[in-house]
Homo-oligomer: A and B are copies of this chain.
Amino acid sequence: MSDLINKQVILKSRPVGEPKESDFALVETPTPEPGEGEILSRTIYLSLDPYMRGRISAGKSYAASVELDSVIVGGTVSQVIKSNHPQFQVGDFVLSNNGWQTYAVSKGETLRKLDPTQAPLSYSLGVLGMPGLTAYAALLDIGQPKEGETVVVSAASGAVGAVAGQIAKIKGARVVGIVGSDDKRDYIVKELGFDVGINRKTQELDSALKEAAPNGIDVYYDNTAGVILETVLQQINLGARIPLVGLISEYNATSTPSGPNLMPLLIKRALIKGFLVSDYQHRFNDFLRDVSGWLQSGQLKYKEDVVVGLENAPSAFIGLLRGDNFGKLIVKVNDDPTAA
């Protein structure tokens, strides 16, 4: 054991419906020593993402559940402080899966080295990381927007939606974003260049969509499912494509909600295809080349919502599921030595 104290957020009880802070607990434990081929790293940034809600449920999802009293999983940027692996030196920055804790031991093979001169470190948890690849591959490989087509994006100011919508604009589509506040609506239209933003909490979605997409909807980038998908389905065009990327609307549900009626899929010969980013690692290099380029040219903008302190992760995560965050939600667990 090292003499460093490891702060961890563990799962105390499985949330029913919306998670409560009491479902989580902050504990301190000794920091383990790295074994052969392993490295010990200090967490700098922790990414909070809606998929984590599935991991803390007992129910079957696309990955194993987090056990009770275990550290909650999560992608992180961390700095190597001890290394028994030839490819990593003390001081290196790495993309890791430390989860909700200040230190972790990892096998070298699971880490990717980061270059802080290329982009801010935290970007590799967002626009240049898993959420960015999710936006890129689901939009381009399943949605396949063509110039002049209409693309609708739900959760459009989120880490994934904001990137998906901007890529659709770059590809020449008309882009409509659905968000949950006027601030977010202004942001996606004025800052990100979406053609139209709809605040689903104050506008009647069906008529707002009809007005925003007078020629119908060709691609629906679906982060939410539920009633938004149901409404969109009534307005899809022949051969529409719907990458089903998230079901945020039902992550907190206590029983399985019904889905939309699928008749429009048949009438319009449209497709809904489930998407999980882990199937698209072969697109990572294309993604990094394109999205880095668009960021540098200013065609693509990126906003982060940074919460300071691991102890604030539970409340930030609870807010994320409600849509309280604005931009990619990141927890700053320790100081970032590369930040200005």
Interface residues of chain A, those whose CB is within 8 Å of chain B, are 60-62, 225, 229, 244-247, 250, 256-276, 279
Contacts and interface: CB of A to CB of B under 8 A. Distances in A.
A218 to B, nearest CB: 14
A141 B308 CA distance: 52
B272 A61 contact: no
30 contacts: A60-B267, A62-B266, A225-B263, A229-B262, A244-B265, A244-B266, A246-B266, A247-B262, A247-B263, A256-B261, A256-B263, A257-B261, A258-B258, A258-B259, A259-B260, A259-B262, A260-B262, A264-B274, A265-B272, A265-B274, A266-B274, A266-B275, A267-B274, A269-B273, A269-B274, A269-B275, A269-B276, A270-B273, A271-B274, A272-B273
A269 B262 contact: no
B269 A271 contact: no
Interface SS of A by simple majority: loop
Contact of A272 (B271, B275, B279): B271
A320 B102 CA distance: 65
Contact of A267 (B61, B263, B267): B61
7 tightest A-B CB contacts, nearest first: A258-B258, A265-B274, A271-B273, A259-B259, A266-B274, A269-B274, A259-B262
> Which of the listed residues A246, A257, A272 has the most CB atoms from chain B within 10 Å of its own CB?
A272
B269 A279 contact: yes
A49 to B, nearest CB: 14
A252 to B, nearest CB: 13
Most chain B CB within 10 A, of A259, A276, A279, is at A259
A257 B260 CA distance: 8
Given A258-B259, A259-B260, A262-B274, 10 more contacts: A244-B266, A247-B262, A250-B263, A256-B263, A260-B262, A262-B272, A267-B276, A269-B273, A271-B271, A272-B273
A12 B183 CA distance: 55
A158 B270 CA distance: 24
- Which of A246, A259, A266, A270 has its CB near the most chain B CB atoms (within 10 A)? A266
A245 B266 CA distance: 7
Nearest to A263: B247
A318 to B, nearest CB: 21
